Amino acid sequence: MDTKPPLPPFTRESAVLKVRLAEDAWNSRDPARVAQVYTEDTRWRNRAEFPAGRQQVREFLQRKWARELDYRLIKELWAHDANRIAVRFAYEFRDDSGHWFRSYGNENWEFDEHGFMTRRFASINDLPIAEGDRQFHWPLGRRPDDHPGLSDLGL
């Protein structure tokens, strides 16, 4: 069977790495790549949507990134336990009318013994922002290592 290291039980260092790998994948905006870290029977709660299974996650992400343009995300470890990780995050995007938003939220993750995510529960709030208030300025894709994180930005 495939694995998705780092594997539980998580240490602080392995949880931080797992969070960064998730951030990198989401910043790729590639639904197929992102969906591969979830179990076939994964369960999600994301706002008012409840995708069940890898295929529904992939379809959800396709719709998400068709609406959320110029998407840039930062995740930060909040807490961890043996096979669970809690993160806080913020991301910025614009809609097709050119209006910018910053979305803030928290996620609770649960992993199987192979490092695949079985559960993802997200709570998210959206804030309209002016383009000049954006704080995530890097080329689309992976956040550079020297770009400030959430705490550094005061978020």
Supply the CATH number for residue 65's domain.
3.10.450.50
**145 in a domain, yes or no?**
no
**140 in a domain, yes or no?**
no
Burial class (CB in 10 A: 0-12, 13-18, 19+), 52: exposed
**62 in a domain, yes or no?**
yes
| Number of domains the chain is built from | 1
**42 in a domain, yes or no?**
yes
**142 in a domain, yes or no?**
no
Sequence-separated (6 or more) residues with CB below 8 Å from residue 148: none
User: Looking at residue 93, what is its pLDDT?
Assistant: 98
| Percent of the chain whose predicted confidence (pLDDT) is above 70 | 99
Query: Which stretches of the chain score pLDDT less than 70?
Result: 1
* Stated pTM of the model: 0.97
Dihedral, CA atoms, 18, 23, 25, 30, nearest 10 degrees?
150
**144 in a domain, yes or no?**
no
**64 in a domain, yes or no?**
yes
User: Looking at residue 150, what is its pLDDT?
Assistant: 98
Give CA 83 to chain center in angstroms.
Answer: 17
Asked whether 39 and 116 are in contact (CB, 8 A), the reply is yes
Domain that holds residue 67: 12-133
**43 in a domain, yes or no?**
yes
CB-CB neighbours of 132 under 10 Å: 6
Asked whether 133 and 69 are in contact (CB, 8 A), the reply is no
